[in-house]
Amino acid sequence: MNEKETASNFTKDLKEKVIGFGADLVGIADVGPLKKLRVDPPGLLGPFKRAVSIAVALPTAVFEQIGSCPTPNYRSIYQTANLILDQTALKTAIALQRAGFYSLPIAASQVLDRKNWYAAISHKAVARMAGLGWQGKNLLIITPQYGSRVRLVTVLTEAPLDIDKPVNNRCGKCTMCQDACPVQAIKGVGTETHYESRDEALYFSRCVEKVAGEFAQIPEIGVPICGICIKACPFGRGKGI
């Protein structure tokens, strides 16, 4: 077997393992283009060659129950999904480490800068470059299989895994997320690749105030969740446009 075939078999085996650990989707991104991202700490990507993007799907029915605010059931599913993601990322990093490759799981939902709302790395940027989905008008990753009804996590690794290609944006002229947002935070601007800043897609402070300032203060919710732009998206409801 030549070097290329060995890498391709190793990648295929790893992806099968990640699905076995609890993921619904997995893809591989090259770390190179991600070096433009703001990361915390600044040297985070230094030792790594690839980023493994992992998604866990959330049931459509959970979103169908959401009206003008998130439900306690969505809160519970959100927490369970984060747990599965963190466990899957941990097991993936250990599987890679056992194969001889230095690897780091990044927490699914950990905010490091609460003033500006930044995490260690953008899981959405990794997911887009790993071919899991495109960046929709709601700023979220929309997967062909589950729409944006997925949560994401990342594992950084020095393993020379085969890279996946980004997928094309399929939002087209759809404005369903923009129309549904209760605070008109979504500008309705599309992108063929990715937004240069959050402000290009969103009136960012409107989104933050609603999600973190209002919904997270509801005693039965207690975490910054919303779900309204996710519910509105026709992808993942079996009604793709």
Binding interface with ligand B12 (CB under 6 A):
33-34, 36-37, 78, 108-109, 111, 117-119, 122-125, 128-129, 135, 138-141, 148, 150-153, 194-198, 202, 207-208, 211-212, 224-227, 229-230
CB of 237 to ligand B12, least distance (A): 14
For residue 25 the two structure tokens come to 């989707």
CB nearer to ligand B12: pick between 2 and 116: 116
CB nearer to ligand B12: pick between 95 and 225: 225
CB nearer to ligand B12: pick between 138 and 157: 138
For residue 109 the two structure tokens come to 């939902």
CB of 122 to ligand B12, least distance (A): 3
CB nearer to ligand B12: pick between 8 and 198: 198
CB nearer to ligand B12: pick between 10 and 107: 107
CB of 28 to ligand B12, least distance (A): 14
Q: How far is CA 99 from CA 93, 95, 96, 103, in A?
A: 10, 6, 5, 10
Write the DSSP assignment of 99-151 as a string of letters.
TT--EEEE-TT--SBTTTTB-SS-HHHHHHHTTS-EE-TTSSEEBTTTBT-EE
Query: Which residues contact residue 20 at a Cβ distance below 8 angstroms, ignoring those fewer than 6 apart?
Result: none
CB of 78 to ligand B12, least distance (A): 6
CB nearer to ligand B12: pick between 100 and 234: 234
| Alpha carbons 188 and 180: distance in angstroms, whole number | 11
φ/ψ region of 48 (left if φ > 0, alpha if ψ in -120 to 50, else beta) reads beta
CB of 98 to ligand B12, least distance (A): 25
